[in-house]
Structure 1
Amino acid sequence: MSKKRQEHHEEHVDESWLIPYADLLTLLLALFIILFAASQTDQKKYQTIMQSFNSAFTGGIGQFNFSNLIPLTTEPNIDQKKYDQPTNPATPNTSGQQQKQQEQLNSQMAKEQVDLQQLKEKLDKYIAENQLSTQLETKLTEDLLMLTIRDNALFSSGSATVKPEAKQLAGTISGMLAQYPDYRIEVAGHTDNVPIRTAAFETNWDLSAKRALNFMKILLENDKIGPERFRSIGYGEYQPIDTNDTEAGRAKNRRVEVSILRSVKPPQMIDAAAKQP
């Protein structure tokens, strides 16, 4: 009995799914490209990208027709507008407010310069008329107007009690200060470096602080001056303006300073404002 040869046919794998799968990948890729291009506002760049990918897909299975797309407008979407805006846009309103504030600041600086220049001239005139140039002097800076008074014009050696004859000087100064009520005033005491140790004062710091306080109290006897404008401080021997190696230098270092403080500190002196009538 003859055996029939059994023919065995190889089974072929069904690869028909590859075609739609490739189409799907192509469509997804094209979709991502379109989404990317849609986020751009440059129409020419968008058309260039479409043409490039259209050429790449030409002749392939599942070609994507870009001509069916809705043309991209040049108006960015809401999110794009948000990110295209400057971080801190200068609106006209903000700019106007800044300009107004700067004008107010400049006006205040000019007023203070005129006020302090006038006060300096009054003090200088008083000093000249009473021949006090060896005991009093004034200095106008970008921060303040300072009146420096030698200690022997106000106090006896080693004492913080204001001399009776110095009260007239204090009254004149306080009368001038009362004419300018918008300024804070600091009264500072200074000594030389000669050590002091008495029953009243253990250190020069104590002496300088007490002298500043007592002279400030004399100034405040003028009821036209508000005490809230004042403060007193003692620096002891630690802010000399001259050498402590000579008697003349030590005499300069023993002093009381009355400073009229600017509320607005300009970057430089306003010469034009000082020349105003």
Structure 2
Amino acid sequence: MSEHNLLEDEGAGYLISVSDMMSGLLFIFIITLVAFIINFQDAIQKQKEITQTQKEIVKRFTNTDQSRSELLLLLKQKLEDQNIVVEIDAEHGVLRLTENAIQFETARASLDEKNESNLKVIGRVLDAIIPCYASNPPTFHNCEGFEHFQGKIDSIFIEGHTDNVPMKSYKYEDNWDLSAARAITAYRTLVPDTVLNQIVNTNLQPIISVSGYGEGRPVEGHSYSYPQSDPTNRRIDLRFIMTPPSLTDVQQSISSEAGR
């Protein structure tokens, strides 16, 4: 074989080797590209599922807030029908028993006959409506039209408040003590002779409880830098906490994937 032919054979072999290598690289590139496209499509689908789940959660929270607002408006209307004026704070779920509803005298947790009577009326209105929002409404209770609200309410805090006049007497150590005593007075007047102390939430816990905040949460526009006897802040608030929406197992799984 001539030297020229030998060189041509070696050149052809080299070109075939390069061609094979390029074909292999192209095959690997195509496989990689296909895998990337599949993973990308999976990621897009998973993101869609996560977004849909988030929308469902937001919707359920919004529905919970809406249910609470509707409950507060219903209670306000029922109380106004009984000539008892209250205020509502829908954003924070508060039904405020203003001085036009009940009024505490300075440094006192007891109520006179008129204010005690008003508080009993408020208790009867709550007794007619709240059980229908509990997880165990009494069988004898008329909850017609409220069936889809069953289990919606988690708790109601009877909150006592005071003005910012310093308190120390033989009976109350300070405004914290006084506010708690006012909440207890309200509880003992609202709850007896009703089923409110029998109903529970979805965790089988009593719905009604009490708390005292002293002077720490004044009504907007009634906060002072100096001690002032203010009847607006000597009040009881009823704070409504609704049952939070629960996630299904699928939604929990998707949310867990989103956090990775």
Instruction: Give the TM bin, normalised by the shorter chain.
Output: 0.5 to 0.7
Assess if the C-alpha contact under 8 Å between 1:195 and 1:203 holds in 2. yes
What CA distance in whole angstroms lies between the structure 1 residues aligned with 2:16 and 2:83? 100
Match among 210, 223, 230 for residue 195 of structure 2: 223
Segments of 5+ residues of structure 2 without an aligned counterpart are 1-6, 8-12, 135-151, 246-260
Question: Deviation of residue 259 (structure 1)?
Answer: 1.4
Are 1:147 and 2:147 an aligned pair?
no
1:130 matched to 2:82: yes
| Residues 1:125 and 1:246: Cα distance change in structure 2 (over 3 Å) | farther
Report the CA distance between 1:121 and its aligned residue: 3.1
Q: Which runs of 5+ in 1 are unaligned?
A: 1-57, 59-63, 266-277
The residue matched to 2:132 in structure 1 has which SS?
coil
Asked if 2 retains the 8 angstrom alpha-carbon contact of 1:160 and 1:207, the reply is yes
| Shift, 1:191, TM fit | 0.5
Calculate the aligned-residue CA RMSD, in Å.
4.1
Is the Cα contact below 8 Å between 1:162 and 1:215 reproduced in 2?
no
Between the two structures, name the one with larger relative contact order (CA 8 Å, sep ≥ 6).
2
Identity %: 21
1:201-216 equivalences in 2 (<5 Å): 201-216=172-187
CA–CA distance in structure 2, aligned partners of residues 100 and 214 of structure 1: 45
Q: Pick the aligned partner of 1:258 from 235, 238, 249.
A: 238
* 1:150-172 CA-partner distances (Å, limit 9, x unpaired): 36816454333455422232232
CA contact (8 A) 2:156 2:209 kept: yes
Match of 2:214, as an amino acid? Answer: G
Alpha-carbon distance in 2 for matches of 1:124, 1:92 = 46
Shift of 1:72: 1.6
Change (3 A) 1:91 1:199: same
In structure 1, the residue matched to 2:121 is 168
Q: Are the counterparts in 2 of residues 243 and 250 from structure 1 also a CA contact under 8 Å?
A: no
Q: Which of 70, 73, 76 is the aligned partner of 1:118?
A: 70
* Structure 1 residues 66 and 103: CA distance shift in structure 2, 3 A: same
Q: State the number of aligned residues.
A: 201
Provide Cα deviations, 1:110-141, integer angstroms capped at 9, x if missing partner. Answer: 3541x3343233223233333333xx222312
Query: Pairwise mapping of residues 1-277 of structure 1 onto structure 2 (< 5 A)?
Result: 65-69=14-18, 70=20, 71-72=23-24, 74-76=26-28, 84=36, 89-90=42-43, 92=45, 95-96=48-49, 99=52, 102-103=55-56, 105-107=58-60, 109-110=62-63, 112-113=65-66, 115-133=67-85, 136-141=86-91, 144-150=92-98, 153=102, 155-161=104-110, 164-165=116-117, 166-181=119-134, 182-183=152-153, 184-221=155-192, 222-224=194-196, 225-226=199-200, 228-241=206-219, 242-244=222-224, 250-263=230-243
Could you tell me the TM-score, scaled by structure 2's length?
0.59
Structure 1 distance, partners of 2:207, 2:82, is 28
Counterpart contact for 2:166–2:174, Cα < 8 Å: yes
Distance across 2 between alignment mates of 1:140 and 1:228? 23
Q: Which has the larger radius of gyration?
A: 1
